Structure 1
Amino acid sequence: MQKKLWLVIEILLGIALLVLLIWYGIRKIEDYRYIKSQNEFKSSMSIVELDSDLDEENIIPIDEVEENKELEQKLQEAAKAKVEELKAEYPSIVGIIEIPKTEILYPIVQGNDNQFYLDHDKEGNYHAFGEVFLDSRNTSSFTDKNSVVYGHNVRSAKTIFNELLQYENEDFFNNHKEIRIYTQEGLKTYEVISVFKAKPEEPYRERLFNSQEEFQMFINKYQNESSIKTEDKEFENLLTLSTCFNNNYRFVIQAGELE
């Protein structure tokens, strides 16, 4: 009797182990497909492609854009065209986020709430990694006082917003101050001004302010809480990037829009 009991236990353990291995294998295959899809997207968006008469590689370096109005105009038009092209295929896409010299180059989607894209991709299919998405309360043109963008901190695959955690390193911060958002209206460029951890209920995602003075106080509050200190500046609009740090805190980057 006891031998039969142990045999049953061994069989059940074997089945459980087999199920676990199958689940693990399926998860790894899904992760591989997801990362492959993201890498294919990145390879098509590693630069903004422009007309061939600009230069040999059809590339506009960002430092040249600031000094050349013609190049700036062409980049704005190219940014709009690229987002419109993607939106035609994936209607939920409202922009693209790029942090130069990092792996962060992703489409930004927007849903009717802030839950769906936590575990769905831009095609609407389930995936635990979700997508980078704009707060459902924000305008898709990124013209609010504070546009909030979310993304998972995927430690296992070192993807989505995992790289944001490196902003606590001062060298990384100093070498990656620029964030670009490509929208249907053109390119928006931001300068990182604060890095901090916040509880989910804290008002760092506030988007409505009664005055510019109140908005500036909001900016200064989080600059004071930042682990990296930056010079006080006035900005018309903010970009806030939010990702998980642990169950109790969010890791947050705030950046001011450059004119």
Structure 2
Amino acid sequence: MKNIVLKIVFLIALCVFLYSGFNLGYTYYKYWKVDHDNDVLVKEVVKTEKKHKASNVRTIDFNYLRRLNKDIVGWLYIKDVADYPILKGQSNDTYLHHNYKKAYSFAGSIFLDEISNKNFQDGNTIIYGHNMNNGSMFGQLKKFSEQSFMNNHPIAYIYLPDGSVNVYDIFSFNRLDATDTNYYRNNIEYGSFIKKLVSASLANRQVSTKKAPLIMLSTCATHDTNWRSVVFARLSKTIHKG
């Protein structure tokens, strides 16, 4: 009888071990798949030309991207932080858990809020991405809470389908409630909005008082609350094709 009990206990322990191992392996695979798919896409569409010793010039093959998915409206690049296509679906649910191929992905995509215009000319364009544990999507945004990191990563780029590039000055990191319509809106009064943001920021840089379109990069601060980690940047210039 004792041997039978021991065998049952062993079998149960073995099943638990195998199940836990499967879940761990599957989780690892899902994260690997997200990184792998984006690495493949970057190699396909991002071209970097060496212009001179001090800088590189990046171009994005939007002809290829639009053949993949016409919902791709731009490409976001922040050094060491993000290098992804930006999508706009019919609603905020469209790309919450779907990738640029429209296939299911637990990491979803980087996407515009349904109230934001795809020309990035709103007073405040809202862009979402998941806070992934491996740092993918918007998993690196929280680093902007460190003043030194913001100082060393002051620029965001959005490449557009017409070949132009919007260049943004990153100026504020905030923790905000996702239900706060004072911030999650596209029409703003620039001066008072900027003043309120900077005064409540965890890290900030000097920002111009001259009105210009903003982008608002938003991700979950934690997975079980309404708090969001949010990075704001102001359009400083647009580089036109040619």
- Asked if the contact 2:142/2:229 (under 8 Å) is kept, the reply is yes
Aligned match for 1:235, one of 198, 211, 218: 211
Larger CA deviation: 224-233 vs 90-99: 224-233
Distance (Å, rounded) in 1 between the aligned partners of 2:73 and 2:139: 22
d(CA) in 2 for partners of 1:134, 1:151: 9
Q: How many residues align structurally?
A: 232
Q: Which is strand-richer, 1 or 2?
A: 2
Closer, same or farther in 2 for the Cα pair 1:231/1:33, shift >3 Å? Answer: closer
Q: Check 1:228–1:26 CA distance in 2 against 1; reply closer, same or farther (3 A cut).
A: closer
1:87 corresponding residue in structure 2: 66
Percent identical among aligned pairs is 23
Higher percent of residues as helix: 1
> 2:191: which partner in 1?
216
The verdict on how the C-alpha distance between 1:63 and 1:198 changes in structure 2, with shifts beyond 3 A counting, is: same
TM-score of the superposed pair, with normalisation by structure 1: 0.78
Amino acid at match of 1:163: Q
> AA paired with 2:124?
N
**Shift of residue 40 of structure 1?**
2.3
- The CA distance in 2 between the partners of 1:129 and 1:232, in whole Å, is 32
What amino acid sits opposite 1:224 in the alignment?
S
1:235/1:258 contact within 8 Å kept: no
| One-letter identity of the residue aligned with 2:35 | I
Which residue of 2 is the match for residue 52 of structure 1?
A: none
Aligned equivalents of 1:148, 1:221: Cα separation in 2:
17
Return closer, same or farther for 1:200/1:106 CA change in 2, 3 Å cut-off. Answer: same
**Any conservation in 2 of the 1:220–1:232 contact (CA below 8 Å)?**
no
Matches within 5 A, 1:153-164: 153-155=131-133, 157-164=134-141
Contact 2:45 / 2:64 at 8 angstroms: preserved in 1? no
- Post-superposition shift, 1:105? 0.7
Deviations 1:87-106 (A, max 9, x none): 11122211100013x14111
1:24 shift after superposition = 2.4
Q: 1:199 Cα deviation (Å)?
A: 1.2
* Unaligned stretches of 5+ residues in structure 2: 238-242
